[in-house]
Structure 1
Amino acid sequence: MAKNTSEMSRQEWLWNRKSGIGGSDSSTILGFNAWKSPFELYIDKTSEEVQEIDNEAIHWGNVLEDVVAEEFTRRTGKKVRRRNQTFRHPDYDFMIANIDRDVVGENALLECKTTNAFNSDAWEGEHIPPAYICQLQHYMAVLDYEKAYIAVLIGGQKFVWKEVDRDDEFIELMIEQEKHFWEEHVLKEIPPEIDGTKSASELLNKMYPEDNGETIMLKSDDAEMLIEAIESIKSEVKEKQSLQKEYENKLKMMVGDAQTGVTPRFEIKLKTVKSNRLDSKSLRKELPDIAEKYTNQSTSRRLTIKQIEQEAI
């Protein structure tokens, strides 16, 4: 089944994406997306709001999609066509796909990408970033295609394209994970466990930007288990940081007042670095109006843990 998207507004198209798991969602569920956590994906799929990420990379990726597709055709001789449709897997209705292009005369699709020059190494030789492998295999599963092509413009001046065969074993495992996420979390409205990713932390800051001044009773066993784990990790980190500083000081002693020390395997630099720092304390004291004018206020919530003293019985 396929739903035409050519006449949808941007908001309608975004709502349509919330109706299932798309190709770009698959890497998050499988743990290959460094920028988005399963917890954040769950919020995206279950919230009553549509949030659109609008940045330069996404904008130019959309603008240059036609350029990448045309260059793929020029270099390979393969013709491609747009498919303004949302496809659904015939057996797993929660699996959806919005592909960039079909490859004419082949049971295959084309995905167009752009990236900056710093990511060039990720495309060397036969390498393809794992998140895109998940996306392509998801699309092939939904459309029952036997292969996919991916073309990427790197840094605006390097073009590569690669062919990816369908991997039924990978697809079977992927469907199992996506099915679990959709049925056990999205449909049951049970969020997956929060994790330590940057995106999860940022999302929590957005969800709970300020405290309401109240005090609540937490589930003691769960909360205290986490607190004990945190304190244990803090102790280990502090010990390792102290050990690291000791080793660094011993190296500095070896280098002395030289700028560079070398071993057969390493080069150690101990250069003099001068930096200018604003004395904000003196500025606030001597020129309070100017200090206030150029001070930006930000809101965040700091987690602190304090042991409650128990009264003697």
Structure 2
Amino acid sequence: MLVNNRKEWLKARQKGIGGSDAASVLGISPWKTNVQLWEEKTGITEPEDISEKEVVRFGKESEAAIRQLFQLDFPEYQVSYDEFGMIANEPDCPFIFATLDGELTDGSGRKGILEIKTTEIRRFIDWKKWNGQIPDYYYAQIVHQLLATGYEFAILKARIRERGEYG
């Protein structure tokens, strides 16, 4: 899908299911139910603009730095990025698409996904979601992206900040 700016990207997102919608479709998103997502996709309700929320801004603004750190830590991968690039599962399922935080190519030419997450740990229960695993809602997003792109692998790079008291 050829998209040139944020306005076009938001409009194109309405035409299918993106990676960040995957957990909602499955009913495992902590942020949006599958009914809310359906109402948004069918035009019953307008999607909330979350772009100015502090955590969203922090995540978006830190992506470039995290992508650069990933490149320094893992020079065996070529990393590319297209802010508004949408990869769709054409022709089988054109309504399944992904906008990647990074596109990876390894030394043998295999294509992969770089998924970047920033999160805060405020309570013990938050740590439990990350204890030796990827939280289910992020895992769903990555599996969706693999389906949309047809790529062979994915790497999650997470920046976890600790705040609050837990124990």
Bucket of the pairwise TM-score, normalised by the shorter protein: 0.7 to 0.9
**Structure 2 residue runs without a partner (length 5+):** 163-167
Deviation per CA, 1:118-147, whole angstroms, max 9, x where unpaired? 33443232x101011111111111111111
Between structures 1 and 2, the one with greater strand share: 2
* SS of the residue 1:112 aligns to: strand
Give the superposed CA RMSD: 2.0
1:116, 1:50 → 2: CA distance?
24
Listed as ranges, the matches of 1:140-159 within 5 Å are 140-155=146-161
Match of 1:52 among 49, 53, 65: 49
Deviation per CA, 1:142-164, whole angstroms, max 9, x where unpaired? 111111011011118xxxxxxxx
Return the letter of the residue paired with 1:115: T
What is residue 28 of structure 2 aligned with on the other side? 32
What is residue 71 of structure 2 aligned with on the other side? 73
2:131, 2:78 → 1: CA distance?
25
Return the letter of the residue paired with 2:129: A
* SS of the residue 1:116 aligns to: strand
| Deviation of 1:33 (Å) | 0.7
* SS of the residue 1:93 aligns to: strand
Q: Which protein has greater RCO, CA pairs closer than 8 Å, 6+ apart?
A: 2
What is residue 142 of structure 2 aligned with on the other side? 136
* Alignment size in residue pairs: 152
* SS of the residue 1:149 aligns to: strand
Q: Is the 8 Å Cα contact of residues 111 and 152 (structure 2) preserved in structure 1?
A: yes
Q: Is the 8 Å Cα contact of residues 14 and 50 (structure 1) preserved in structure 2?
A: no
Return the letter of the residue paired with 1:73: Q
1:115, 1:154 → 2: CA distance?
5
Does residue 1:88 correspond to 2:88, yes or no?
yes
Q: 1:75 to 1:124 in 2, by over 3 A?
A: farther
Does residue 1:113 correspond to 2:117, yes or no?
yes
| Deviation of 1:73 (Å) | 1.6
Deviation per CA, 1:74-108, whole angstroms, max 9, x where unpaired? 22223311034111112012111111111123321
Does residue 1:22 correspond to 2:18, yes or no?
yes
| Deviation of 1:58 (Å) | 0.4
Listed as ranges, the matches of 1:278-289 within 5 Å are none
* SS of the residue 1:151 aligns to: strand
Higher-Rg member (1/2): 1
Q: 1:32 to 1:50 in 2, by over 3 A?
A: closer
1:67, 1:94 → 2: CA distance?
31
TM-score by length of 1: 0.46
TM-score by length of 2: 0.82
2:128, 2:33 → 1: CA distance?
24
Q: Is the 8 Å Cα contact of residues 15 and 50 (structure 1) preserved in structure 2?
A: no
Deviation per CA, 1:168-219, whole angstroms, max 9, x where unpaired? xxxxxxxxxxxxxxxxxxxxxxxxxxxxxxxxxxxxxxxxxxxxxxxxxxxx
State, as a whole percentage, how many aligned pairs show the same letter. 30
**Structure 1 residue runs without a partner (length 5+):** 157-313
| Deviation of 1:50 (Å) | 4.9
**Runs of 4+ in structure 1 over 6 Å off:** none
Between structures 1 and 2, the one with greater helix share: 1
Listed as ranges, the matches of 1:3-18 within 5 Å are 3-5=1-3, 7-8=4-5, 10-18=6-14
